[in-house]
Chains A and B, each alone.
Chain A
Amino acid sequence: MGLEPLFQAWSYFRRRKFRQCSDLCSQLLERPPSEQEQPESEYTAFQAAWSLKTRALTEMVYVDEIDMDQEGIAEMMLDENAIAQVARPGTSLKLPGTSQGAGPSPAVRPVTQSGRPITGFVRPSTQSGRPGTMEQAIKTPRTALTARPITSASGRYVRLGTASMLTNPDGPFINLSRLNLAKYAQKPKLAKALFEYIFHHENDVKNALDLAALATEHAQFKDWWWKVQIGKCYYRLGLYREAEKQFKSALKQQDMVDTILYLAKVYLRLDQPVTALNLFKQGLDRFPGEVTLICGIARIYEEMNNISSAAEYYKDVLKQDNTHVEAIACIGSNHFYSDQPEIALRFYRRLLQMGVYNCQLFNNLGLCCFYAQQYDMTLSSFERALFLAENEEETADVWYNLGHVAVGIGDLNLAYQCFKLTLVNNNNYAEAYNNLAVLEMRKGHIEQARALLQTASSLAPHMYEPHFNFAVLSEKVGDLQRSYTAAQKSEEAFPGHVDTQQLLKQLKQHFAML
């Protein structure tokens, strides 16, 4: 004697076996109607199975909407919410130079395309920095990793729209165009599951918004949940001010951490980090010690290049939750780049103890071990990292770092091979081109070095190293004009670089003498 099938499906759902749950629900739904009991209450078993199946399908492809964020070129450049062309210092995320706290120098910590120091943790929204200008956005080479969709409507959201293809090989479960949304809006219990299905599984924001609007009307605008959902839809549609109104109204009705996070996301998209910071701090008064809020503050500070404040808040996060991976990783990378690899090593080891087991972590462990002079662990960590790499880009990263180890022990041949292997795995690795050029230059191969540097600087115009190296090289061979232009580019990328300034001064003297 088996379990009651609906209960069995429910049990599958609770154990996160969504595939089985959905299959079982389908069987239940296919039963002839005569077998189903007559409706006694408002909801029938048939409806229960239907609702459970929508929930199971949603869970299969569910990604936390708070973390979901991708800005396309169009949204970024045709930004009609911007108030001023040039923001005041410390009030914008777009210009990394406007930070008040001194960020780390690019001579120590590598920077991303947007001129922001690389962070210890990536989220969907941090993945592809923000180029500051249209020119930069278009100039950025569209490599596999930096490719940015034209609009968010063409990006990940839509590609994920194929989710229905994944979960239901024989056509969609619910045919949205034939759905009578008004009917479902009358039944709040079904409507919520249906909304999440439309929003997350079908990625059909317009229909989801219609349903939410009808449902909130039915609830006489008294249900905060629907307001949050409407806000989410508006956010996806790019109507940020409307989204803000909905979230605020929801917050008035019911104080929720989630809503605060959504509202902050709106402010960040509107490029108002200070407002978002204030919101988080007010939220912390009402929800003291809430990890997601503290973490939100830390992220904003980090994006504004205020690394020291960010580190403070990440430490606060760890006081509340000492297994917070993001906080540990960020503090670890901060220590690594502030010349304390031993301490960074302890943080990364902690992550390892917590069960994080991937290529990135072993790569970081290897680097920390090497710079902390724990040579016995270095190579085995890198070996493990290479073994765990999931794709060629990751392999390239590991080989690149191994190249540094080789440079460190003076084995330039090995270093050369490592950087070559980096390029084999990822042909757009600008740093490896630059380092190869330096090695070629040591061998006296000026032409090769020049070609490599040109490749590097076209791939990554935001890095100062290739420009500076090109300037040095050109100066050496007597091509002062090119040297001067390259040095200027280098200064643009890293205004505080002393060697660049000296070179420029020298060149100016030369020109003055002519």
Chain B
Amino acid sequence: MPEGKAAFREVLPKQGQLSVEDAAAMVLCKPKVLPLKSVSLEKLEKLQRAALEAARPADGTPPPRP
């Protein structure tokens, strides 16, 4: 940081009209803290996944034709 008076000097207009433009800025959606899952929810999801797996025909069987 240079020393002395010449370094930086703020400019404040003392005469005339001061105007501040207040444009509404667009807003971002907020970051999301993710909720943790309860044990029963995890178990439910596990069961559902397993049920889906069981319902799905095994690999190699041809898909049913309409």
Contact = CB atoms under 8 A, between A and B. Distances in A.
A411 to B, nearest CB: 15
Contacts of B25: 472
Interface string A51-78: 0000000000101100110000000000
Contacts of B30: 108-110
Contacts of A121: 35-38
A438 B30 CA distance: 13
A127 B41 contact: yes
A224 B43 CA distance: 28
Interface stretch (A226-234, A271-279, A308-316, A396-404): A396-404
Contact of B29 (A127, A333, A367, A431): A431
A120 interface: yes
Interface string B30-55: 11111111111101100110110011
A118 B31 contact: no
A407 B28 contact: yes
A400 B32 CA distance: 8
A162 B47 CA distance: 9
A160 interface: yes
Contacts, number: 129
A360 interface: yes
A85 B21 CA distance: 46
Interface residues of B, number: 26
Residue picked from A118, A473, A502, most chain B C-beta under 10 Å: A118
A469 interface: yes
Interface in A30-58: none
A400 B48 CA distance: 27
What is the interface of chain A mostly: helix, strand, loop, or mixed?
helix
Contact of A325 (B36, B44, B54): B36
B34 A473 contact: no
Interface string A95-130: 000000000000111100000001111111001000
Given A364-B34, A434-B29, A502 B47 contact: no
Interface of A: 61, 63-64, 67-68, 107-110, 118-124, 127, 156, 159-160, 162-163, 165-166, 169, 325-326, 329, 332-333, 336-337, 344, 351, 356, 358-361, 363-364, 367, 394, 397, 400-401, 404, 407, 430-432, 434-435, 437-438, 441, 463, 465, 468-469, 472-473, 499, 502-503
Interface of B: 24-41, 43-44, 47-48, 50-51, 54-55
